[in-house]
A = this chain, B = another copy of it.
Amino acid sequence: MNPLHRLFNPRSIAVVGASDRPNSIGARALDNLLVHSQFDGEVYLVSTSKAELFGRRCWPSVRDLPATPDVVMVVVPASATIEVLEQCADRGVAFAVVLTSGFGETGEEGLAVEAQMRAIAARSGMRIYGPNCPGVCNVNARLGMTFSPSFPHDLRPGPIGIATQGGGLGRNIMQAMERGIGVAMWSSSGNEVDLQVADFIDYMADAPDIKVIVTLIEGIKDGPRLVRALQKAARNDKPVVALKVGRSDYGARAAASHTASITGSAEVNSAALKQLGVIEVDDIDELVDTAWLLARQMPAFKPGGDAVAVYCGSGGAAALTADIIGQQGVKLAQFAPETTAALLAKLPSYAAVGNPVDTTTAVLSQPGLFDATLLDTCRDPNTALVVIPLAIDYGKVTDDTAEAVVRVQQQSPVPIVVIWMSDRLGKAFSTYAQAGIVPSRSVGKAVKAIRRWMDHGHWRQRSDRLDWQPWPTAGAAPAAGPATPLGEAEAKALLGAAGIAVPRSGLARTRDEALALAARIGFPVVAKVASADILHKTEVGGVAVGLHDAAAVGTAWDRIHASVRERAPQAVVQGLLVEQMAAAGGVEVLVGVSRDPVFGHVLTFGLGGIYVEVFKDVSRRLLPLTRAEAERLVREPRSFALLDGARGRPQADVAALVELLLKVSDFVGAHAQQIDEMDLNPVWVGPAGQGALALDAVIVGRLDTAAGGAA
């Protein structure tokens, strides 16, 4: 049984702060619980001023209750909340739902009270929900522990679980019931002094009446907790559809001030969510379209069967829909011969029986023709989903069509997605909504939902989708002490020791050592100034490349020292780092690791230079990296074409690159608390068979290294 089972399915509830003062939150909470819920457990009212309310006895305090309720709803003023929570904790109450506001969201004083709440929860084991939240709407159980006057209006049960922090956006999703979605429950965590969105997702992953979880990520307090919950949902085959607020700078700033949580890096968040199988959307209406499509039918198709059919009576709407389908990268199905034959036999000669099917208005005049041809389309073996774009509400014709679609859906092996494009919402719109064929409101939004449904189908087909496990140290604080960058030689020595290929190299402290070292390494070589005081070696003339013989090395020694003396006179120079020079014909890539405050270590891969800077063409994964993820990671950037033999280049040694990435992951894992940042830039990837070399390396952290560099 999930630890939150009795929170959402209590046997008894106390309302502390019960009231009959019109419009008070106490009165509104009672109204929802006693009038609009169908709760058959015990309800206890607690009031300091009344002995009886609505014909029910009131107790003066939690202490005085005749039994310990599973849940206590707290609707007293903010100033009285701590006292009530203390009593609840003493009494052994399992869950306190604090609806009252006026805490952390109002400033420092409120934050101090929240710290007290957290202490009560910690010492007693009582879990606290809220404060400053609209409460719990368990729609399937018809139980509202909420003061919201909207509760009685949003009671369409169903398979969707909603977990949000704030109230407004959560209620927005609930109101999509008007469009036909059904909701199992909505839980909102408010200021999250104890229970968080992650805990609700964890509950929903276990709840048998929930098929799809919808969440708003407005800020993440505990990354590992969220990861565990998302992984449980994935194991239980429950898609999680998420909208992350804070993906632009404006949004991140606004969300941080709204929820007082870390928003983290948008790019990292998106990569992490994707890796965990979460379906991320861009807008709140897309949550509804996407989640409902998944709730209607989970995407399952045979290879190549990830394609859709468009069925329509208007050529213009069909063309527009096909167009947006193409732009979104969704496939139009190539109909099987039997489908085409059936449509040809039934439809008039001037109809289009390819895909899109443009029936023309012929189907309206001949009874049964619409049903028959739509069903033929739905049964096409290459079609995973059928889209019907409706440009206009035509009145009766549209109403009749809606009834036919509902009939056909009952026999169809695949979901039918209806796009209600018009602003006129006639009777047919309600027919679709009532039947659970939640019409999408724009072609673009519908096709985005379909795209995500397809993508999730592909994700479900991955045999390794549940393989990833965080490091045991995940969530542990970094080691103490200030982070410092390692010198290039030290960094490369560590990498070399970890099996990551670096150029043969060594530190030459004298001119003669440099000449000898170069000979030992083999020409051509590169020479770089070695100084902990110099971060940007090129800028001080500290680098010489393409040194083909001893004379060139000698000249480079003199030139580099002269230049550095002039341009960085304060720098303490240890000598020159002399290195093997990578062969021509390779591709330079970038491998970076950073420690995300929410999700921990993240690896970034890209083809460097302008691709990364201008096109942001990178891929990312949470560490550790599995082999399957590494193989996908390197292929994700659009500029992968350059590694893949584009423009007459040789095929690059992608296998060696993958090995290098896996070793980087192992290396970070072995020093997880020490490493804050790593930057291997560039990594040289040679033609197939020639390996991959980290040509430059920066490691920032608290690594204790005695290792020196030697060729």
Mark A residues whose CB is within 8 Å of B.
105-107, 149-150, 153, 164-169, 171-172, 175-179, 216, 218, 243, 245-255, 257-259, 282-286, 288, 314-320, 322-327, 332, 349-350, 352, 354, 356, 358, 391-395, 421-425, 441-445, 538, 609-610, 613-615, 617, 638-639, 641-642, 646-648
Contacts and interface: CB of A to CB of B under 8 A. Distances in A.
B248 A325 contact: yes
Contacts of A610: 639, 641-642, 646-647
Contact of A442 (B169, B177, B442, B615): B442
Nearest to A320: B245
Contact of A250 (B258, B322, B425): B322
A125 to B, nearest CB: 31
Nearest to A106: B350
A352 B425 CA distance: 37
A319 B258 contact: yes
B107 A350 contact: yes
A168 B327 contact: no
Nearest to A110: B350
8 contacts: A105-B350, A168-B315, A169-B316, A172-B421, A175-B424, A216-B316, A257-B352, A610-B646
Task: Please give me the 5 A-B residue pairs with the lowest Cβ-Cβ distance, nearest first.
Answer: A251-B323, A248-B326, A168-B314, A258-B315, A250-B326
Contacts of A153: 424
Contacts of A255: 319, 323
* Majority secondary structure, A binding face: helix
A247 B322 CA distance: 10
B322 A179 contact: no
Contacts of A613: 641, 646-647
A326 B251 contact: yes
A105 B354 CA distance: 16
Contacts of A176: 422-423
B391 A423 contact: no
A327 B244 CA distance: 13
Given A253-B322, A258-B315, A316-B216, A327 B248 contact: yes
A538 B648 CA distance: 11
Number of copies of this chain that the complex holds: 2
A584 to B, nearest CB: 14
Contact of A320 (B179, B251, B253): B251
Contacts of A358: 258
A29 to B, nearest CB: 17
B441 A441 contact: yes
A319 B261 CA distance: 13
A391 B150 CA distance: 13
A483 to B, nearest CB: 27
Contacts of A424: 153, 175, 178
A218 B316 contact: yes
Nearest to A608: B647
A166 B250 contact: no
The listed residue with most B CB atoms (<10 A of its CB), out of A167, A246, A248, A613, is A248
Contacts of A326: 247-251
Nearest to A282: B444
Nearest to A164: B316
Given A245-B320, A320-B169, A423-B179, A254 B441 contact: no
B443 A323 contact: no
A615 B646 CA distance: 13
A349 B325 CA distance: 48
Contacts of A647: 609-610, 613
Contacts of A423: 175-179, 288
Contacts of A320: 169, 243, 245, 251, 283-284
B175 A254 contact: no
B323 A248 contact: yes
A167 B315 CA distance: 9
The listed residue with most B CB atoms (<10 A of its CB), out of A248, A257, A323, is A323
A169 B317 contact: yes
Nearest to A248: B326
Contact of A316 (B166, B332, B391): B166
Given A251-B326, A613-B641, 9 more contacts: A166-B316, A167-B316, A175-B392, A243-B320, A257-B315, A258-B318, A283-B324, A284-B391, A284-B443
A638 to B, nearest CB: 5
A166 B350 contact: no
Nearest to A244: B323
Contacts of A168: 314-317, 391-392
A122 B648 CA distance: 55
A642 B611 CA distance: 11
Contacts of A317: 168-169, 172
B322 A391 contact: no
Contacts of A315: 166, 168, 254, 257-259
The listed residue with most B CB atoms (<10 A of its CB), out of A253, A316, A648, is A316
A166 B360 CA distance: 13
